[in-house]
Amino acid sequence: MIYKICQFSILVLCIISCQTNTNSSQPSAQESNPIADSLTIELETIAEKSIIPGFAVAVMNNEKVVYKKGFGHASIKDNIPFSNESINFIASISKTFIGLSIMQLVESGKLSLDEEVNSILPYEVINPHFPKTQITVRHLVTHTAGLTDDFDPEEVGEADILLLEDIKYEEDSIQAFMDNELSYYKLGIPLTLDEVMQRYLTKNGKWYSKNNYEKFEPGTKYSYSNMGSELASRIVEIKSGMAFDEYTKQYILGPLGMKNSAWSYDDLDSNLVSEIYLPDNWENPTLAIEHPKYRYLAYSSGGLKSNIDDLSKYLMEMINGSNGKGKLLNADSYKTLFAPVLKPSHFTGKRSLSPLNDAYDVGVFWAVSSTGIRLHNGGSIGVYSFMYFNPKTQSGALGFCNLPDGSFGKIRDAVFKYETKIISSLEN
């Protein structure tokens, strides 16, 4: 099931070392800078040893993008370079767009974070383990609602994802491997976001199970949830009277000039869309296999497609918003978007103090690390991604690739190591 892949892949990003393959880098448009050049050399070295076909990264402050570069290939078979314009899934970074949408509705007076979801939805969402405790919007946006991603629709012969193309592979062994990998995807049936929510979360839903709900009282524990995120986007639809993809197009993508970002491939320039890939072996990959493009039925938690140029505009808006100078929300709303709200008791076990730990605290879908960095990572078939910024330094970085492999963690760490150095070098 795709949700399990998403959660597994984010974990792998942090712990698996690089594999083997060869990629090439593309020239950058920014001015020559010795520190930036050092980052390029380190990323080229990682790319040469990684199975990842292509990736791109960017570093910026609140005023401008100071480094952006693509490496490797957007398409292996067509020998197309991966550039700043290459469009790819951004995976769970998509959730930050749900958070921004929620806060826009809060700011306009159409919604309250403490509103009970059952006062909004035309059906009931009740945790069967705590039927008297109501789930609120705040629970959804802080991953404390207790909605799980555990039920597999394959158990009833269906899937929550759709294949958008059919690829024939020349080698029989690869065809057999991919037939097995795609068996779940081929069970997908067209459903709306709301139909998916009802199937999972209501008692009469075809995909309903008590295990779709955590055995803790809503609001008391942190548990990362795609389902909770998607339900929040459904609330955006109800409160705005618009489909979620149309809402974000009108109120986020359009105002920021993100012309190469969309939830559907049909709304993108096909010449800029990257191919997506799957490793031939998760433990010891040696080959990148092209994977058919697909669509999440509940697309809002991970289905946005974008490129580095567009995402840089978005992250720059977030950086400025954290300083009260954003365009899409007022200063108080941005403060709420990024403000950490959980307590140590919300977490089980000791939390990592890593500056890029995305399970230390949370605002409105934006993770908050122990050092105050705001961030979100993402992972699924055809993508690993990261986005972060530091409100104190007013700088940050982002990146994504077109094959989920643990070596992407080294890419992210290299960018993090050089990010503040590059910014400081420009100020001196």
- Overall average pLDDT of the 226-252 stretch: 98
pLDDT at residue 428, rounded to an integer: 63
- Overall average pLDDT of the 53-64 stretch: 97
User: Three-class SS of residue 67?
Assistant: strand
- Overall average pLDDT of the 351-362 stretch: 96
pLDDT at residue 31, rounded to an integer: 57
Residue 210 neighbours by CB under 8 Å, 6+ apart: 128, 129
Helix axes 408-427, 2-15, angle to 10 degrees: 60
- Overall average pLDDT of the 185-203 stretch: 95
Q: Which residues of 278-316 are buried (b: 16+ CB within 10 A; e: fewer)?
A: bbbeeeebeebbbbbbbbbbbbbbbbbbbbbbbbbbbbb
pLDDT at residue 79, rounded to an integer: 97
Residues above pLDDT 70, as percent of the chain = 92
DSSP assignment of 316-361: HHHHHHHTT--SSS-HHHHHHHH-----GGGSSSPPP--TT-TTSE
Number of folded domains that form the chain: 1
* pLDDT at position 276 over 90: yes
pLDDT at residue 425, rounded to an integer: 84
Q: Which residue has the higher pLDDT, 1 or 421?
A: 421
CA dihedral 88→92→93→98, nearest 10 degrees, is: 120
Q: Which residues of 231-244 are buried (b: 16+ CB within 10 A; e: fewer)?
A: bbbbbbbbbbebeb
- Overall average pLDDT of the 150-177 stretch: 94
**Residue 69 pLDDT class (50, 70, 90 cuts):** very high
The C-alpha atoms of residue 300 and residue 272 are separated, in whole angstroms, by 22
- Which structure tokens are listed for 339? 């403000």
- Which structure tokens are listed for 132? 């008297």
Tell me: the pLDDT tens digits for 379-418? 999 999 999 999 999 999 999 999 999 999 999 999 999 9
Q: Does the global pTM surpass 0.85?
A: yes
Give yes or no for a contact between 387 and 400, defined as CB atoms under 8 angstroms apart.
no
- Overall average pLDDT of the 13-21 stretch: 36
Closest to 289 (Cα-Cα) out of 21, 93, 101 = 21
- Overall average pLDDT of the 19-37 stretch: 55
Among the residue ranges 5-9, 201-205, 279-283, 326-330, the one predicted with the least confidence is 5-9
pLDDT at residue 37, rounded to an integer: 95
First to last CA, the chain: 50
Tell me: the pLDDT tens digits for 242-269? 999 999 999 999 999 999 999 999 999 9
Tell me: the pLDDT tens digits for 117-127? 999 999 999 99
Tell me: the pLDDT tens digits for 71-120? 999 999 999 999 999 999 999 999 999 999 999 999 999 999 999 999 99
Q: What is the 3-state secondary structure (H, E, C) of the chain?
A: CHHHHHHHHHHHHHHCCCCCCCCCECCCCCCCCHHHHHHHHHHHHHHHHCCCCEEEEEEEECCCEEEEEEEEEEECCCCEECCCCCEEECHHHHHHHHHHHHHHHHHCCCCCCCCEHHHCCCCCCCCCCCCCCCCEHHHHHCCCCCECCCCCHHHHCCECEEECCCCCCCCHHHHHHHHHHCCCHHHECCCCHHHHHHHHHCCCCCCCCHHHECCCCCCCCCCCCHHHHHHHHHHHHHHHCCCHHHHHHHHHHCCCCCCCCECCHHHCCCCCECCEEEECCCCCCCCEEEECCEEECCHHHCCCEECHHHHHHHHHHHHHHHCCCCCCCCHHHHHHHHCCCCCHHHCCCCCCCCCCCCCCEECCCCEECCCCCEEEEEEECCEEEEEEEECCCCEEEEEEECCCCCCHHHHHHHHHHHHHHHHHHHHC
Residue 346 neighbours by CB under 8 Å, 6+ apart: 144, 220, 221, 222
- Which structure tokens are listed for 37? 């050049």
Q: What is the CATH number of the domain that holds 30?
A: 3.40.710.10
Q: Which domain holds residue 188?
A: 2-427
Beta-ladder partners of 396: 60, 389
* pLDDT at position 309 over 90: yes
Residues above pLDDT 90, as percent of the chain = 89
Among the residue ranges 2-6, 193-197, 336-340, 401-405, the one predicted with the least confidence is 2-6
* pLDDT at position 278 over 60: yes
